[in-house]
Amino acid sequence: MEQGVEDTLYEARVALDDLRDAWSLLDPEERIEAFQSLKTGEAEEFFLGLSSNDQAQILAGLPQLQRQLWARSLAPDDLADLVQATPDDQRGALVTLLDEPTRRELVALLAYAEDEAGGLMNTRYGRLRPEMSVDEAITYLRKQTPERVESIYYAYVLDQQSHLLGVVSFRQLIMAKGSAKVSEVMTTDLITVPDEMDQEAVSRLFAQHSFLSLPVLDAQGRMKGVVTADDIVDVVREEATEDIQKIGGTTALEAPYLEVRFVDMIKARAVWLVVLFIGSMLTISAIRSFEGELARASVLTAFIAMIISSGGNCGSQASTLVIRAMALGELKMRDWWRVFLREASAGLVLGGILALLGLLRVVVWHHTFADDQGAPYYGDHYLLIGLTVAGAVVGVALWGTLVGALLPFALKRLGFDPASASAPLVATLSDVTGILIFFTVASTVLSGTLL
Amino acid sequence: MEQGVEDTLYEARVALDDLRDAWSLLDPEERIEAFQSLKTGEAEEFFLGLSSNDQAQILAGLPQLQRQLWARSLAPDDLADLVQATPDDQRGALVTLLDEPTRRELVALLAYAEDEAGGLMNTRYGRLRPEMSVDEAITYLRKQTPERVESIYYAYVLDQQSHLLGVVSFRQLIMAKGSAKVSEVMTTDLITVPDEMDQEAVSRLFAQHSFLSLPVLDAQGRMKGVVTADDIVDVVREEATEDIQKIGGTTALEAPYLEVRFVDMIKARAVWLVVLFIGSMLTISAIRSFEGELARASVLTAFIAMIISSGGNCGSQASTLVIRAMALGELKMRDWWRVFLREASAGLVLGGILALLGLLRVVVWHHTFADDQGAPYYGDHYLLIGLTVAGAVVGVALWGTLVGALLPFALKRLGFDPASASAPLVATLSDVTGILIFFTVASTVLSGTLL
């Protein structure tokens, strides 16, 4: 490469990177202006790297002719994503811009849900017949116009009914004798993906097998398309983002943090906050129902916050561990009993550790500080108070851990996303019960002395 | 494919799938037994699909000769992962099993951190010179023994000092005229990865550009290896798992949930629980310092749990949204001020919604229930109590939201992982402050009446 060319390329790259960095700061009109100021090659690279949402926004702002050009530059699977990101009332107009075969491919793709293999796959791939020779295969593949085939590192060997018989990589074709039959060269021990497989399951297949692409088959074993590892990188990132947002107690956001509209962000957060707030109102009644106990042993009030928060913390840990292990396919429904046993032990051990610390806190404070009247800090029954705190912490930690560990299983069984067992939900559930546990332990331990 | 062959393949696949399902239930000896009972082809597929931890465990249990065979079946990058998963005292013995060139490649790879591009890359890839003709290139690539080149869909064109000049795909080679020069066919507008780039940044490059592999260069522009999209699928999953575990308040686990040793699991969870528990002990002193207020207005006690938990919930939402946006590269350090403004507004709006609900709760209960003596539930000053709750909820929600949103920035600035701003940590931080806010609001609103 000559130095001059290299410099120009370098400058173009810098301009592109600048635009990428500044993108989220621009409003829609500025974006379209900036996009139109790019040189053709840069604009193409930039456009293909955008999210489907951003692509739809750009298209909407371009004149008809350019819109058609850019829409046609996309492969059918990316086009399907774009159409799904376009507001309903503009979809029809967009689809009319396409040529007839692309439109047909698009309609077929749109029939699949966005999050199943059929919705991810690319319908353009190299096709061969088993009886072809390697030389014929190479000539034939050369003729399939390059822009119709996005990432052709494998060619798929199909019979007349489109049943998948085998796969050859371009490498195998290059390495093989020209006169050999494709059926002799092809690999027949295939890993395939059903077109209705959930994208999380597809991503697990990729993680397990280290393939760069997998063929997608319908229920009759007919080849429908290919899913490539680069699409799976996107899927894994999106699924993790959704799970993380749900774990934090937010409905999954539709766009990047800085781009989502303020009102949509409030909606995504307010729903759960309101539900949790109403749930946590139960703590008002719970605490109030122990008014008598609190009046007699007001010292207990001070421990309420610490005790219930330790339940919430234990629960957050357990639920996030279980949610993630489920998403990775490490835990199945049938494992719930093993998880129960494991988490029951964990809850007891962790609760035990915290309980010791709680007891220690009471004892140390009692011997270190005096109350306003100069009397020992926690009165004559300080050891019983310490034991109450310790007992409550064990109970609350055990309960929080079990709620956190089993709630994802329960949600999944009921058909919900296990990730909805968010840290705040688990914390709120264990708050209410925590108060009951605390006062039950207190009544038992302190009965006859303080209570 | 004949029916008989198909049946046999199908049965082998079923056996493999069964073993995969049962894997986590088996103890180490059973695993080795089951593994040795597989047929050679199945065993290879199974072994290559295992995690590095499992591979290391299997190798440790096999006789010397088999161990050598299996170790040599791995590509250098997978081998490097295996060595990193092997206990320190057995690594030396493992490395001596390898042939000299592999050992050299391995040592070069181990010099990189596990989580940078150099630690992910494969050092085996097709190399070409720019002055070769396409026909020479094809012949040359055929000679590079297949098993030395893991996933050769591209060949890289290097000068004598290993500087990367361009890339040709096998497809480009097949499509080009045999007499053309490689330098005329190759693509020179390259996206490359520096060998010390963090794997999260590498995964962002893949997500942005939809490539199946990218070349890795050292600081001098010399080609060191290739990173492929299938490795990135693993990376993205691992990084997300780590972040999710941290968000839940656990130190990242080293193995799948059901496989991690109980004592390691306890360690990973106890550290943060103890830190958080000690932090939440501050609530004891905080509540106790308002003993006087509580004695005069004991009704306030009932609201403590609800008010502080709404702060924790708001904080969990904000911190997980910000942590994820940072991991995806949507938020940079310089965005902290925009995040601050956005979250301050969000905190006020969300706090406002919850405050209304809180006020409503007090008013409705006041008018619906009577206390034990038949007097109105919250006494004469029920409206002031309602306003206290509402004011405290706004303050706590705003505070929790800001702590959650800004703590990840602070942690990142200090060199820690932003994901350590876990839901439990944010909740605990807003618990303590929440109590102070609650009683400050109470003193202001109720001064002269209840207080």
A49-84 per-position pLDDT tens digit: 787 888 888 888 888 888 888 888 787 778 888 888
Report residue B155's pLDDT band, with 50, 70 and 90 as the boundaries. confident
Helices (H), A176-228: 182-185, 199-209
Question: Is the CB of A174 less than 8 angstroms away from the CB of B435?
Answer: no
pLDDT, position B381? 81
Out of A447-451, B101-105, B251-255, B295-299, which region has the weakest mean confidence (pLDDT)? A447-451
Interface of A with B in 340-399 (CB under 8 A): 342, 345-346, 349-350, 353-354, 357-358, 361
Domain A126-228 matching CATH 3.40.50.2020: the answer reads no
Q: How many CB atoms are closer than 10 A to CB A41?
A: 12
> pLDDT higher for B368 or A336?
A336
pLDDT at A298: 82
Q: Which fold would CATH assign to domain A281-446? A: Tetracycline Repressor; domain 2 (1.10.357)
Of chain B residues 310-339, which have a CB less than 8 A from chain A?
310, 312-314, 316-317, 319-325, 328, 330-331, 335, 338-339
CB burial of A88-103 (b: ≥16 within 10 Å; e: otherwise) equals: eeebeebbebbeeebe
Which residue is listed with tokens 């799948």? B256
Query: Is residue A344's pLDDT more than 90?
Result: yes
- Would you state the pLDDT for residue B77? 77
Mean pLDDT of all residues in B33-47: 80
Q: Is A277 within 8 Å of B357 when comparing Cβ atoms?
A: yes
Return the higher-pLDDT residue of B4 and B252: B252
Distance in angstroms (rounded) separating the CA atoms of residues B368 and B241: 48
Mean pLDDT score, A144-148: 53
Mean pLDDT of B424-441: 92
Binning pLDDT at 50, 70 and 90, where does residue B348 land? very high
Q: What DSSP element (H or E) covers A128?
A: strand A126-128
CATH number for the domain running over B3-115: 1.25.60.10
Structure tokens at A332: 């199945």
Residues B29-54 have a mean pLDDT of: 80
What is the pLDDT confidence band of residue A12, given thresholds at 50, 70 and 90?
A: low
Listed range (A169-173, A262-266, B386-390, B413-417) with the worst mean pLDDT: A169-173
Q: Is B223's pLDDT higher than 60?
A: yes
Of A86-90, B160-164, B233-237, B308-312, minimum mean pLDDT range: A86-90
Mean pLDDT in residue range A191-217: 86
- Under 8 Å between Cβ of A388 and A396: no
Phi, psi of B147 (to 5 degrees): -70, -10
Check whether B9 has a pLDDT greater than 60: no
Q: Map out the domains of chain A as residue ranges.
A: 3-120, 126-228, 281-446
Banded pLDDT at A386 (limits 50, 70, 90): very high
**Rounded Cα distance, A435 and A308, in Å:** 7
- pLDDT for res B148: 44
For residues B430 and B312, the answer to whether their CB atoms sit within 8 Å is yes
Nearest C-alpha neighbor of A169 from the set A131, A209, A123, A138: A138
Question: Cβ–Cβ of B269/A317 closer than 8 Å?
Answer: yes
Percent above pLDDT 90 for chain A: 30
Q: Where are the alpha helices (DSSP H) in A73-221?
A: 76-85, 88-96, 100-110, 117-120, 134-143, 170-175, 182-185, 199-209
A95 CA: distance to closest CA in chain B (Å): 24
Nearest CA in chain B to A326: B257
The answer to whether B35 and B58 have CB atoms below 8 angstroms apart is yes
Q: What pTM was computed for the model?
A: 0.78
CA dist A251 and A267 (Å) reads 8
Chain A contacts of B294, Cβ < 8 Å? 298, 301
Predicted local confidence at residue A392, as pLDDT: 95
Higher local confidence (pLDDT), B58 or B436:
B436
Q: Pick the residue with more confidence: B360 or A377?
A: B360
To the nearest whole Å, the CA of A428 is away from the closest chain B CA by 7
Residue B269 has pLDDT above 90, yes or no: yes
Distances (CA, A) of A108 to A29, A112, A222, A366: 33, 8, 14, 74
- For residue B375, what pLDDT band results from cuts at 50, 70 and 90? low
Contact state of B330 with A146 under an 8 Å Cβ cutoff: no
Average pLDDT in chain A: 84
- The stretch B291-306 carries a mean pLDDT of 86
Q: Which fold would CATH assign to domain A3-120?
A: MgtE N-terminal fold (1.25.60)
Could you tell me which CATH number the domain at B126-247 has? 3.10.580.10
pLDDT of residue A449: 76
Question: What pLDDT band is residue A8 in, cutting at 50, 70 and 90?
Answer: low
State the Cα–Cα distance between residues B39 and B17, nearest whole angstrom: 14
Q: Check residue B401 and give its pLDDT.
A: 96
DSSP state of A16: H
Give tens-digit pLDDT for A345-367. Answer: 999 999 999 999 999 999 888 88
Which of A203-207, B31-35, B42-46, B431-435 comes out lowest in average pLDDT?
B42-46
- Name the one residue in this structure whose structure tokens are 């795909």: B169
Instruction: Specify whether the CB–CB gap between B280 and B428 falls below 8 A.
Output: yes
Amino acid type, B63: P
